[in-house]
Structure 1
Amino acid sequence: MRNLILGAASAIMLCFSASAQIQTPQASPHSVIEQMVGLTTVKIDYSRPSARGRAVYGELVPFGRLWRTGANANTTVTFSDDVIIAGKTLKAGKYALYTQPKVDSWDIIFYTDTNNWGLPEKWDETKEAVRTSVKPEFLNRSVETLTIGMNALDADFGYLEIAWEKTMAAVKIEVPTRATALKSIEEAMSGPTAGSYFAAAQYFYQSNADLTKALTWIDAAINLTPKGEEVPFYMYRQKALIQAKTGDKEGALASAKLSLQGAEKAGNADYIKMNKDSINEWSKK
């Protein structure tokens, strides 16, 4: 009887152990972020340790030594396009992110082997796709949990920032927005629509590129408006902005007035205000 009871208890325990899963929080939670920089996707995959009262740099992370820059598996950064770091081209792809913090400078390293748990057993300099040195910034606040992200974003670049404790190291990542956009524009122009012409003109205006081309393209967008339909007020608005930037205030005023008329018919308060403000500003010059 006793053996039967023990056997039943063992069976129950086996069933319990097979079905139950104990869940506990990670000491260094996993994080994945994706950030568009211009037209390039940057993905950062890392685990985030916290200070928890410990001194970080100089103790937990010794100065002068290579650091995994995170916890657990490799911290990785993936780029959808070729990028430029410190004047060096880094091919599109996935890289392990390592650093070598020092008191007055940090080495930031993009390493081609991403299959390590922390640091490689043997460091291979031939796998350093890019290594660059940056000056750390000392913060007036304390960052409890390691934070890596893309910030200070522009259409053509962003900064990969590594912040923990009271230190932040940032490296500039330049992306090929202009080249990608131009290629897209050229491809679209093989069979352009009004929307393609408008997008091309808008991009050239915003990026301070060839405004003569921008004006040609916005006129093409306007001219492609189907007969019997009114030209969209946002197209006239874009034309007015391009004309103003070229110094053609009279043309800009005329286009802004057409945009205003269209916006009033459509009841678009934002464009009504923008056009009225511009007409008032340009009339004074």
Structure 2
Amino acid sequence: MTTNILLTSSRALGATLALSGLLLASGAQAQINTPQPSPKSTVTQRVGLTDVTITYYRPSMKGRPVFGDKTLVQYGKRWRTGANATTTIKFSDDVTLEGKKVPAGEYGLYTIPNKTEWLVVLNKSTKQGADVDGFKDDQDVVRFSAKTYKLGNKAETFTIGFSDLTPATANVDMMWELTGAKFKIGTEVDAKVMAQIDEKVIKGTAATPNEYAAAAVYYLDNDKDLKQALTWIQKANEKDAKFWNVHTEAKIRMKMKDYKGATASAEQSRKLALEGKNADYVKMNEDLMMDAKKLTK
């Protein structure tokens, strides 16, 4: 009898402990997810042939003054350019920032805001914080000034974005409250494109119509050897005449002041565009033929 009671008690205790363990494990795994006051954001932009990625946390004003002497972001003091952690900026290739060379890699993006300009600092460390006493200046990669400007509309949440994109450059805009500050990224494009053209078209033995056309367009758009561009686009059109490539030939001939040849190519491209039911190219060719007619008078 005593033995049975002990066994029963032992089993009950074991079940209780197992249940307690299960509840503890369940409690350890259960988490309540709530939105961050300053959510994380990652923005990526291809500038030329280079990928630029910025990762930062976005604080909001919430009725508080942002820039000044006794504010969220104080003038003259280093800022991690966001909340929670240091903002990082990553380049897939070497770039220039406001004309200063920066190697490919990932860096901490720190700023020292003032009323009329911000000092922008890229540092090798992405985790050292912004405290003056703990900041390692000897890890700086580059420093430069970014002029401030007044925003047309108030930015409630701190925002970093890209603007004014060209084939080789872009601006990085940092905006909060009514203040914006921006700096220019420059990338190497011509050398990279020319290396591809040299490899695949000039030295290549089996260039495709698309590669010939791409090389011709690049030469046309960048004021390079037009005779060479014409040769390449003709090779593309000999193998596979597409209305957009024939239109490129018309544009090259126009730029070479061969108005008769430009008109003939534009007419051919127009007919192909009509067959392809592309109204935009039909109009572009008609406009080009009109321009060529005016210039031949």
**Common fold by TM > 0.5:** yes
3-state SS in 2 of match to 1:262: helix
> Out of 184, 207, 226, which is 1:211 matched to?
226
Deviations 1:59-115 (A, max 9, x none): 110100111001112211111111112222111111110001111211111111123
The alpha carbon displacement at 1:222 in A equals: 2.3
User: Pairwise mapping of residues 113-262 of structure 1 onto structure 2 (< 5 A)?
Assistant: 113-117=125-129, 119=131, 122-189=134-201, 190-191=203-204, 192-223=207-238, 225=239, 231-262=241-272
Structure 1 residues 262 and 133, CA gap change in structure 2 (3 angstroms): same
Deviating beyond 6 angstroms after TM superposition, the runs of 4 or more aligned structure 1 residues are 3-9
- Does residue 44 of structure 2 align to residue 29 of structure 1? no
Q: Identify the residue that residue 68 of structure 1 maps to in structure 2.
A: 80
Greater Cα offset, 202-211 or 130-139: 202-211
User: Considering only CA atoms, is the larger Rg found in Structure 1 or Structure 2?
Assistant: 2
Q: CA deviation at 1:171?
A: 0.3
2:59 corresponds, among 49, 53, 63, to 49
Instruction: Give the conservation status (yes or no) of the 8 Å contact 1:205–1:211.
Output: yes
Alpha-carbon deviation of 1:175?
0.8
Amino acid at match of 1:269: A
Displacement, 1:187?
A: 1.6
Superposed displacement of residue 117, structure 1 = 4.5
Q: What displacement does 1:220 show?
A: 2.6
| SS state at 2:73 partner | coil
Query: Counterpart in 2 of 1:88?
Result: 100
Distance 1:74 1:179 in 2: 34
5+ residue gaps, structure 1: none
Moved more, 68-77 or 114-123: 114-123
Alignment RMSD (CA, Å): 2.2
Query: Unpaired runs of 5+ in structure 2?
Result: 1-8
Task: Give yes or no for contact 1:161–1:168 (8 Å, CA) kept in 2.
Answer: yes
Deviation larger for 208-217 or 46-55: 208-217
After TM superposition, the structure 1 stretch with the greater mean CA deviation from structure 2, 173-182 or 246-255, is 246-255
How far, CA to CA, are the matches of 1:9 and 1:194 in structure 2? 72
Residue by residue over 1:195-232, the C-alpha shift from the partner in whole angstroms, topping out at 9 and shown as x without a partner, is 11100111222233333332222123223x0xxxx622
C-alpha distance in 2, partners of 1:121/1:96? 17
**Take 1:148 and 1:55, find their aligned partners in 2: how far apart are those partners?**
19
Checking the alignment, whether the CA contact within 8 Å between 1:72 and 1:118 is kept in structure 2 is: no
Asked if 2 retains the 8 angstrom alpha-carbon contact of 1:106 and 1:169, the reply is yes
Contact 2:128 2:135 in 1 (8 A): no
Q: Secondary structure at the match of 2:224?
A: coil
CA–CA separation in structure 1 for the residues paired with 2:259 and 2:99: 40
Partners of 2:191 and 2:131 in 1: how far apart? 36
AA matched with 1:196: E
SS at match of 1:167: strand
Q: What is the alpha-carbon distance in structure 1 between the residues aligned to residue 66 and residue 16 of structure 2?
A: 52
Distance 2:195 2:158 in 1: 38
> Taking structure 1 as reference, are residues 18 and 125 closer, same or farther at Cα in structure 2, changes over 3 Å only?
closer
Query: How many residues get paired?
Result: 279
Amino acid corresponding to residue 204 of structure 1 in structure 2: Y
How far apart in 2 are the matches of 1:266 and 1:10? 73
Q: Work out the CA distance in 2 between the residues paired with 1:121 and 1:216.
A: 64
Moved more, 245-254 or 150-159: 245-254
